[in-house]
C-alpha cells in the first residue's frame, strides 16, 4: 500500500464552496473509473495554514495506491 498526499488551495478569486464541489466531483470520477492500482481517495480541509497565501484554507488529498506503478497510472488518469 502506498499513500500519495497532495496539498492544494483555491485561487483567491474562487469561492470555497465551488472549489470543494469540484474537488468532490474529481474524487467521485476517480472512484467511478479507477485507474489500475487505485484503491481510494479522499480530501480534507486543513483550515488556516502558514504556507497558503492570504490565509485561505488548504486542502490535503490522500490517494491510496497499490504501488508506484499505480502512481503513474493515477497521474495519467488525472
pLDDT for 69: 94
pLDDT for 12: 83
- The β-bridge partners of 62 are 5, 42
> Of 23, 47, 48, 26, nearest to 38 (Cα)?
26
- pLDDT tens for 23-72 read 999 999 999 999 999 999 999 999 878 888 777 789 999 999 999 999 99
The percent of residues above 90 in pLDDT, for the chain, comes to 69
pLDDT for 50: 85
> Of 40, 72, 54, 73, nearest to 9 (Cα)?
54
The percent of residues above 70 in pLDDT, for the chain, comes to 100
Amino acid at each position: 500500500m502506498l499513500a500519495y498526499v497532495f496539498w492544494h488551495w483555491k485561487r483567491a478569486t474562487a469561492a470555497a464552496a465551488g472549489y470543494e464541489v469540484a474537488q468532490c466531483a474529481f474524487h467521485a470520477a476517480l472512484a467511478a473509473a479507477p485507474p489500475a492500482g487505485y484503491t481510494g481517495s479522499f480530501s480534507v480541509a486543513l483550515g488556516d495554514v502558514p504556507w497558503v497565501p492570504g490565509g485561505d484554507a488548504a486542502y490535503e488529498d490522500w490517494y491510496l495506491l497499490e504501488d508506484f506503478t499505480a502512481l503513474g497510472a493515477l497521474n495519467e488518469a488525472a
